[in-house]
Amino acid sequence: MTETAARPAPPPLPDDAPHLLVVDDDNRIRTLLSRFLSENGYRVTTAASAAEARGRMEGLEFDLIVLDVMMPGETGIDFARSLRATSSIPILMLTARSETMDRITGLEAGVDDYVAKPFEPRELLLRIGSILKRTAPAPQKAIESVRFGDFTFHIGRGELTRLGEPVRITERERDMLRALAEQPGETVPRLALAAGGAASERAVDVQVNRLRRKVERDPANPSFVQTVRGLGYRLVVTP
């Protein structure tokens, strides 16, 4: 990779831009990679050693590590091997073009791919993009409806039915059920159930009690819309 002429500052990165950790003891390489990857849509943090990289990883989450194989002290291969004992974070290793054994040993240590120095910037981007695409978690299918007891709530339509028959609910009850149903089994804070943040926590409690009278056999001892003391509510659904 070679230095290029000065370029204008890149546009602000989106909040979901992948965060890369570049680990290389060569300050010039770190600077060039950080600038180049930032200009191409990545958030970048750098480290000059395996020890410094560990420190960075204690406080930040990364989507991929770009790791140089030849570093003083703990080598990139040693660092990759130790990471694989506890982490599945993708690793792209930078190796010398002539060091075939480094590439083989790196792959055996658990790295996902490698790029030989000197490398074409476009190749680096393609390999990073390929690794991130390959290792990205499968998208979760949006929940369409949930069941609890005899009731079914269709989230998109905002319809509550009991054994197939519609149950009349108010607009506020519909909003609250939707917020609970979108996170089944998870605690939803009271403020998240407030109407645009305008309703008080006490008002939320009153509205929840009204909803319970429609869906619970014993509203005083609810089975479905349960209180999480001091936090909020959760909807217990039927598998």
Last residue of a domain, one of 91, 117, 135: 135
Residues 168, 124 share a domain: no
pLDDT above 70: percentage of residues in the chain: 92
Whether residue 2 has pLDDT greater than 70? no
Count of structural domains within the chain: 2
> Cα separations (Å) of 148 from 96, 154, 183, 214?
60, 12, 13, 13
Sole residue written with tokens 């506890």: 86
Q: Is residue 8 part of a domain?
A: no
Residues 151, 126 share a domain: no
Whether residue 97 has pLDDT greater than 80? no
Q: pLDDT band at residue 135, thresholds of 50, 70 and 90? A: confident
Q: What is the pLDDT of residues 121-133, one digit of tens each?
A: 889 999 999 999 9
> What mean pLDDT comes out for the span 21-49?
94
Q: What is the pLDDT of residues 162-190, one digit of tens each?
A: 999 999 999 999 999 999 999 999 999 88
Whether residue 98 has pLDDT greater than 70? no
Last residue of a domain, one of 135, 153, 171: 135
Q: How far apart are CA 68 and CA 115, in angstroms?
A: 10
Residues 89, 168 share a domain: no
Please name the helix (run of DSSP H) or strand (run of DSSP E) that holds residue 46, with its range, or none: strand 43-47
Task: Determine the structural domain holding residue 114 and report its residue range.
Answer: 19-135
Whether residue 232 has pLDDT greater than 70? yes
- Give me the CATH number covering residue 206: 1.10.10.10
Query: Is 40:65 a contact under the CB 8 Å cutoff?
Result: no
Q: Is residue 11 part of a domain?
A: no
Whether residue 5 has pLDDT greater than 60? no
Residues 158, 101 share a domain: no
- Give me the CATH number covering residue 112: 3.40.50.2300
Nearest-10 crossing angle of helices 27-39, 121-135: 70
Q: What is the pLDDT of residues 38-94, one digit of tens each?
A: 999 999 999 999 999 999 999 899 999 999 988 988 999 999 999 998 999 999 999
